[in-house]
Structure 1
Amino acid sequence: MSSSINFIEKAKELVNRAATEDRSENYSEAYQLYVQALEYFTYAIKYEKNVKMKETISSKVNQYLTRAEQLKEYLDKKQKKTPMAQGSGGATGNGKASDDDEKRDLQKGLMDAIVSEIPNVKWEDVAGLEMAKEALKEAVILPLKFPHLFTGNRTPWSGILLYGPPGTGKSFLAKAVATEAKSTFFSISSSSLISKWLGQSEKLVKNLFEMARERRPAIIFIDEIDSLCSARSEGESESAKRVKTEFLVQMNGVGYDTRGILVLGATNIPWILDSAVRRRFEKRIYISLPDVQARTCMFEMYIGDTPHTLTLKDFRHFGEMSEGYSGADINIVVRDALFQPVRKVQSATHFKKIYGVSRDGKTKNFMYLTPCSPGDPEAIEMNWMDVDGEQLLEPKVCRADVLLSLQHVKPSVSEEDLKKHIEFTNFFGVEG
């Protein structure tokens, strides 16, 4: 039985229970059951491969969604008409206190999105991507430092979209912005703005922008924005459409002052974005795979202060050999290479003595044991289990270690994906 059928069966069970409660006028219970059923129907649509079956499920979803929205409207009106007890500090029939409480609850949930601890990622920590860094400086740093530059028609960018293959540094750039900008930084994933309760998602979007306006200058970073603002379609639920509409209104709509607020979006699949959402992002920057110079810097950066015997010539060679690798791929290559000395320790059958300063610096002629070949004149037959923890001296990372890891770790970005990004850039974006 496929996963979509499992979801449909569960959804049907919940709908039958909801209908029973609905007929019994237990509207609150019916509403909750309809919402749960809709959630299972959504999963069924996601995993169903048959187009006609998807259309059938979508028509059912719209039918039950309409009834759930009717119940929600009825329950909301009923709640507002119910007077609150005197002395409780609430309203007595106009629902004002209830609305304020709901707003406080929504904003309280969004408070976790405000980045309070600076990530400590500087511009220079980002290898390459010069155009992307310049655009972000124009939008974030310069307006704060030189506000007189941005008067009249010269206004800072209010929306920047970073797009490109996975692992190219989009989120890393956002961390650099959070570090360098003296602004309130909201880091949001699309899941933070999606609620299973009808009407809540658009309220979350509205409250997010309200909080940003109250704390301006502010930056709203939305990772994987495609899952929130994909292109609208006929089979889409009314709830999803309302979320997109609210996002468009809040980002650049009539009646809202967007000065001092930058919306920074990131996506791996920009071509599925809704055209109206895409238009709101004035700058669309392609974060491409790193060039040879950037890759060379990444190898050196990721090795860091780990003991090694690598030279600048080695790093350049690695950069040339890693054509087609993303920054994340190179990170994996280096991490794998850093484990090569550990593997040598595990597989070693012979060790030899080496003398040097102890790790705590107190002993100058401390005896270490390091792996060696059985043919070494000073070799002692033993394995790593026989070596005391403080005495083990692992080999340094060498050129052969990195080359071996380069053979094992393959690029994660396909040629097909790259072609799609290049095609999108030719129509809508600019190179980063």
Structure 2
Amino acid sequence: MYSYGSFKDQAIEYVKQAVQEDNAGNYAKAFPLYMNALEYFKTYLKYEPNLKMREAVQDKFTVYLRRAEEIRAVLDEGQPSHTYFRPVAKPGGCETGLNSAIKRENPNVKWSDVAGLERAKQAFQEAVILPLKFPQFFTGKQQQQRTFLLYGPSGTGKSYLAKAVATEVNFTFFSVSSSNLVSKWKSESAKLVSSLFQTARENAPAFIFIDEIDTLYGEGNENEASTKTKTELIVQMQDIGYTDQKILVIATTNAPFALDQPIRRRFDKRIYIPLPDLKARQHMFKARAMNKIIE
């Protein structure tokens, strides 16, 4: 009978073999060895009572899981990682009137296009991308998170990062601006929220992106139409992760504390998007100055 330690020892043995084959370029042999190691690590993490030991092994688990992902992409005829997910069919809705406020995209924003934001990208890698590609390792308490609130100053790349995540997993990107709801469709906002989620379900897997959610959901924004919209959004988000397994939601705000508690609790993860550091600013300058004549 296995003890906790024997699960870890067996995982380490598989890792040694995987690394050896990996270094030799034998990816077809390395991949199943990494997967076997991950299975043993997963069992060890499930039963190990020592928190520090679990944290140390979890870090290693993530490293090997990412390497397995990279090898899997190589084995899949060199295609990008997001090709493991089926393409989404063209939608039949979102035509005119109310639904014209909903934008549908198939974004093409790569990780490398997003300057800086390494912590945010790592958070999405661990919370979204890896669980989608290796769902067998993310069960129980480690299940994939599906609703995210990006907060931080204006112009820091929150929307751009959301599109990069959608590109990475090949999800169709449905977006709506809260300011547009408030100013243009105020009396019909609740219907638009319902339509947004329904359209995403019909075209799953899909990303729902709600920009400037504080405009719609801030405290003090109280009237009959606003109350209906808030209630509708909470009801729709309750199904995410339960009946809607292929829907992800990202919302952005510059003022997270302006949101009232009921909606804040609906987000599985809140990610801070800071101002770009020096390295990120250099990256952006080079990208925008490329192929341009500066006199």
Taking structure 2 as the reference length, the TM-score comes to 0.60
Aligned partner of 1:216 in structure 2 is: 204
For the Cα contact (< 8 Å) 1:114–1:184, is it kept in 2?
no
Among 258, 264, 281, the residue aligned to 1:278: 264
Among 136, 139, 143, the residue aligned to 1:148: 136
Rounded Cα–Cα distance in structure 2 between residues aligned with 1:223 and 1:177: 15
Aligned partner of 1:240 in structure 2 is: 226
Structure of higher CA gyration radius: 1
Aligned partner of 1:228 in structure 2 is: 216
Seen in structure 2, the aligned counterparts of structure 1 residues 228 and 148 have a Cα distance that, compared at 3 Å, is: same
- Partner SS for 1:247: helix
The one of the two structures with greater contact order (alpha-carbon pairs below 8 A, sep at least 6) is 2
Rounded Cα–Cα distance in structure 1 between residues aligned with 2:162 and 2:254: 15
Cα deviation, residue 238, structure 1: 1.7
Mapping of residues 134-173 of structure 1, within 5 Å: 134-173=122-161
Seen in structure 2, the aligned counterparts of structure 1 residues 282 and 185 have a Cα distance that, compared at 3 Å, is: same
Cα deviation, residue 174, structure 1: 2.0
Cα deviation, residue 225, structure 1: 0.9
Aligned partner of 2:57 in structure 1 is: none
For the Cα contact (< 8 Å) 2:240–2:248, is it kept in 1?
no
Cα deviation, residue 110, structure 1: 3.1
Aligned partner of 2:119 in structure 1 is: 131
Cα deviation, residue 112, structure 1: 6.6
Cα deviation, residue 152, structure 1: 2.8
Cα deviation, residue 175, structure 1: 2.4
Seen in structure 2, the aligned counterparts of structure 1 residues 152 and 133 have a Cα distance that, compared at 3 Å, is: same
Q: Does 2:278 align with 1:301? A: no
Cα deviation, residue 273, structure 1: 1.1
Aligned partner of 1:93 in structure 2 is: none
Cα deviation, residue 222, structure 1: 0.9
- Runs (5+) with no aligned partner, structure 2: 1-92
Aligned partner of 2:248 in structure 1 is: 262
Among 279, 287, 292, the residue aligned to 2:273: 287
Mapping of residues 179-218 of structure 1, within 5 Å: 179-194=167-182, 196=185, 198=187, 200-218=188-206
Mapping of residues 98-117 of structure 1, within 5 Å: 109-110=98-99, 113-117=102-106
Rounded Cα–Cα distance in structure 1 between residues aligned with 2:212 and 2:99: 17
Seen in structure 2, the aligned counterparts of structure 1 residues 301 and 254 have a Cα distance that, compared at 3 Å, is: closer
Cα deviation, residue 227, structure 1: 0.8
- Runs (5+) with no aligned partner, structure 1: 1-103, 308-337, 342-432
Which residue identity does 2:148 align to in structure 1?
I
For the Cα contact (< 8 Å) 2:219–2:259, is it kept in 1?
yes
Rounded Cα–Cα distance in structure 2 between residues aligned with 1:304 and 1:105: 37
Aligned partner of 2:74 in structure 1 is: none
Taking structure 1 as the reference length, the TM-score comes to 0.42
Which residue identity does 2:281 align to in structure 1?
R
- What value does the CA root-mean-square deviation take over the aligned residues? 2.8
